[in-house]
Amino acid sequence: MASYLVTGGAGFIGSHLAEELVRRGHRVRVVDSLITGKRRNLDHISGVEFLEGDLAETNVAARAVEGMDYVLHQAAIPSVPRSVKDPITSNRANIDASLNILVAARDAGVRRLVYAGSSSVYGDTPTLPKREDMPPNPLSPYALQKLVAEQYCQMFTRLYGFETVTIRYFNVFGPRQDPGSPYSGVISLFSTALLEGRQPTIYGDGAQTRDFTYVANVVDGVLRASEAPDAAGEVINVACGTRISLNDLLRVMNGIVGTNIQAIYEKERAGDVRDSQADITKARTLLGYQPIVSLEEGLKHTLDWCRAEAAATAGR
């Protein structure tokens, strides 16, 4: 049994990591400021130690890493449009907090830190699929912040011998992704709209493509990265290696729900990339990673969860 700190563990991906770690018999501590995370995301998981605090405060970071073997650093304000609107707040959450947790983890003797990177760092380079050795081209404050933090991770490995791995996420979706914000992921927004009989909004013409990745695939990749012997200092894509347009995504989701609701098209958003698809060769080689849940299966799980949430909310 190992001890894991999941930063941002009351959030969407972090709570799934905490749940799987507990299932595997590990000791889990979560630190979360609850700015975007929700305490109830952890209510169904027994034995998780919870620490509320902001990792941009050095004393919170130091307290959080005490006695931990591994750190899974998920804490962030994970939104391109929010970073465009308020770059200072997102910089504090995405860079200041990341540097604090790196210093604290190094000083506390943590074995390895796995960082939640982002495919947004690739920007709009026309080459597909996106490979880790391609030059980054961030188009938004969020993308730049994620790039700076992953470079800090690599520098800490080179400079101090502190093991880090960056996993670049590609449009992760699944249960517990908050649909209640205009900054939410497109699948959670589509899900609630279709189940409520509303027209979802697509920014742009809907022909833009994404490598949507069900959250269980990401959890598997991250946990592999925490122990893979040859992964230290590396940046690794974890996704499905496929892509689908937003128009086709809506068509597939309409088919699952049994609706035929058309989208409302709005002007494309600043900082959004046109196409995204991962090359997952490196993840296969270094982590033994292979996607375990397909897009359609993941969509069914997500829609089932959204239905259950809506029913629970109505019953309150």
Q: Which residue has the higher pLDDT, 314 or 281?
A: 281
In the prediction, which pLDDT does 107 show?
A: 98
What CATH number is associated with residue 146? 3.40.50.720
Tell me whether residue 67 is in a domain. yes
Domain of residue 46, residue span: 3-172+214-239+278-292
Q: CB under 8 Å to 61, separation ≥6 — which residues?
A: 55, 97, 100, 101, 103, 104
- pTM equals 0.95
Tell me whether residue 106 is in a domain. yes
Selected catalytic residue, list 122, 142, 152, 289: 142
Tell me whether residue 21 is in a domain. yes
- Per residue in 44-76, pLDDT (tens digit) is 999 999 999 999 999 999 999 999 999 999 999
- Whole-number mean pLDDT of the chain? 95
* Reported confidence tier of residue 316, pLDDT bands at 50, 70, 90: low
Three-state DSSP state, 187: helix
Element (H, E) at 304: helix 295-315
224-253 mean pLDDT: 98
224-248 mean pLDDT: 98
Domain count, the chain: 1
Tell me whether residue 302 is in a domain. no
- Per residue in 1-35, pLDDT (tens digit) is 999 999 999 999 999 999 999 999 999 999 999 99
Tell me whether residue 143 is in a domain. yes
Reply yes or no on whether 142 is catalytic. yes
- Per residue in 161-202, pLDDT (tens digit) is 999 999 999 999 999 998 776 656 899 999 999 999 999 999
Distance CA 41, CA 74 (A): 15
Distance CA 203, CA 268 (A): 4
In the prediction, which pLDDT does 257 show?
A: 96
In the prediction, which pLDDT does 126 show?
A: 87
Tell me whether residue 244 is in a domain. no
Tell me whether residue 191 is in a domain. no
In the prediction, which pLDDT does 314 show?
A: 75
Q: Is the pLDDT of residue 273 over 90?
A: no
Tell me whether residue 307 is in a domain. no
**Cα-Cα end-to-end distance for the chain:** 38
